[in-house]
Amino acid sequence: MDLDTCVWLIVCATGVMGQFQVEPLDSTVLKGTDARFTATVQGKWEVMTWNVRGFLVLTFPRSGNVSSASEQFSASICSAEDTSCVAFTIRNTSRREAGPVICTVQGDYGSKSATLHVQESGAVQIQDGDLKVAEDEEVEFTCVTSSWFPNPVVSWKLNGGPVDGNLYNNTHVPHGDSFNSSSVLKFKAIKNSTVECLAMLPTLTKPLSSTVFLVVVPKPPDWTLLIALVCSFGGVALLFLLIYGIFFCYKRKKEKEPNYQDEMTRRVRTQSQLSGLRPPGQKQGRVNAGYVTDGRTNVTSSDLSASGYSHTTPSNFFEMPDAVYNIHTENDYNNVGEGFRKHRHATTV
């Protein structure tokens, strides 16, 4: 323990030390901003000094010129009405100035210490940018922060509203004298949305953020069930048509097969039609009108008239008329006319 510290402790114990205070005792600022401390001394004093992280950076005499290590450090009387208050300012703070800030008032006042904290904000970015997915598909967004001190508080917003902390997880990784972090958000895509990742420090007036857009396209219809139904009904319909076709063909075949009674009726009708083609009273076959039984020497006129002609011959002659009747079909009969041709033959012995 050095001599100055021993003296300061002895003075505090005896209560001889004068009264003064430093405010704030703990100050947190953002890198690049100014840090301000005030020292209020009760009673007379002549010289005040300020140390930052163990280095004397400023000497402030109550009367005279201020001596500063650089333009970054300055001090002044708080107001003309209150000369007991001195304001000490550190401009454009960085993490090099972070640490203890000690104010010392010469005389019986001793020293007062405060602490300066400097925070540093870095970058925040949602990887992969905008996303286009199908409806009801699970999506994943990754937000990366880099060069922050200390660890930032990372959160998400969806369409301007906060996201449940259970939907994302954060991971912080030291990187030199700063921190990098990543946050992964997962949820089911339902509609077009604005996705925002936010990184916050206590010294920031508002969080830094990165925003992307989620485009949700309607989910294509699932044709599996419909195709299955169509195939099922189609198979049933084809089976029905096959059975019906077989039954129909069988029925037509049965209708075309004549039974015994129909066949006999058809044959009788055919015979009747063929009989109608012969001359009335004419029977099928040949008739020899000149045939004379033994013992007959002449033919009577009545017999000849039956043959279709009349001829007078001696008793020792006989005639053999021959009449041949050709039976034709109905078509031949119509073409020929009467359907008969007469031939007469006479033989003289």
pLDDT at 215: 96
> Could you say which of 173, 194, 217 is where a domain stops?
217
- The verdict on 297 and 329 lying in the same domain is yes
Structure confidence at residue 307 (pLDDT)? 47
Residue 68: inside a domain, yes or no? yes
Checking 313-316 for CB contacts under 8 A at 24+ apart, the result is 313/348, 316/349
Do 18 and 75 share a structural domain? yes
Domain CATH code at residue 16: 2.60.40.10
**What pLDDT score does 289 carry?**
55
Which stretches of the chain score pLDDT less than 70? 1-18, 222, 256-263, 273, 275-349
Q: How many domains does the chain have?
A: 3
- Is the residue at 62 inside a domain? yes
Within a domain: 22: yes
Residues 18 and 93 in one domain: yes
Q: State both tokens at 170.
A: 């954060």
Pair 86, 45: CB distance under 8 Å: no
CA distance to 198, 211, 298, 302, 346, per residue, from 319 (Å): 144, 137, 9, 14, 6
Using the 8-state DSSP alphabet, how is residue 283 labeled? P
Query: Domain for residue 344, yes or no?
Result: no
One domain, residues 69 and 136: no
Measured distance CA(325)–CA(323) in Å, rounded: 6
- CA distances to 77, 236, 272 from 232, in Å: 95, 6, 60
pTM of the model: 0.58
Q: 3-state class of 224 per DSSP? A: helix
pLDDT at 120: 96
Could you list the residue range(s) of the whole structural domain that residue 167 is in? 123-217
324 found inside a domain: yes
| 250 occurs within a structural domain | no
Please tell me whether residues 46 and 62 are part of one structural domain. yes
Q: What is the pLDDT at residue 220?
A: 73
Which of 66, 87, 119 is the C-terminal boundary of a domain? 119
Tell me if 305 is assigned to some domain: yes
d(CA 31, CA 203): 9
> How far is it, in rounded angstroms, from Cα 139 to Cα 134?
10
* Residue 295, domain member (yes or no): yes
Report pLDDT for 281.
53
Position 126 scores a pLDDT of 97
